[in-house]
Amino acid sequence: MSDFEELANRKVSAHLSATYSAMVAVCLALPLPVTLPTGTVSNLEGVPAVRRLMELTLDQPMPETMKAHVFAAAAFWLGAMDCYGLLIREEEWQVSRAHSAAANLLMADGHLEDLAAWLADQE
């Protein structure tokens, strides 16, 4: 794997982690708090938890647009995880996958920011 590919993988991995941490914080502030795994979280724990978050979002007592932000953030994060899963397999590495993962994470971040702003206004 080239230095560029390794750097791209590290950056995507760090962004995945940062976005997941933001999701953890926002989920704890939901009207019906949702606790996602924390600490050293593997994809074997994180992915199913985020999938479950998508299901639980439907029962949150909040406006549909806010539910959509939770749902979209989770979906974009999962999409980024899928891209990352391919990136770390050397034979599957494509620069377009690195860009797709980053784009998914930027979208997830935007939805989490909108949701966090709404939650802050509710306090």
| One pLDDT digit (tens) per residue for the chain, 123 residues | 688 888 999 999 999 999 999 999 999 999 999 999 887 777 778 899 999 999 999 999 999 999 999 999 999 999 999 999 998 887 778 899 999 999 999 999 999 999 999 999 987
pLDDT at site 91: 79
Q: What is the pLDDT of residue 14?
A: 95
Neighbours of 18 (CB within 10 A): 12
C-alpha dihedral (87, 90, 7, 48), degrees to nearest 10 = 30
Residue 93's pLDDT is what? 81
Could you tell me the CA-to-CA distances from 104 to 47, 73, 82, 97, 100 in Å, in that order? 15, 9, 10, 10, 6
| Structure confidence at residue 43 (pLDDT) | 77
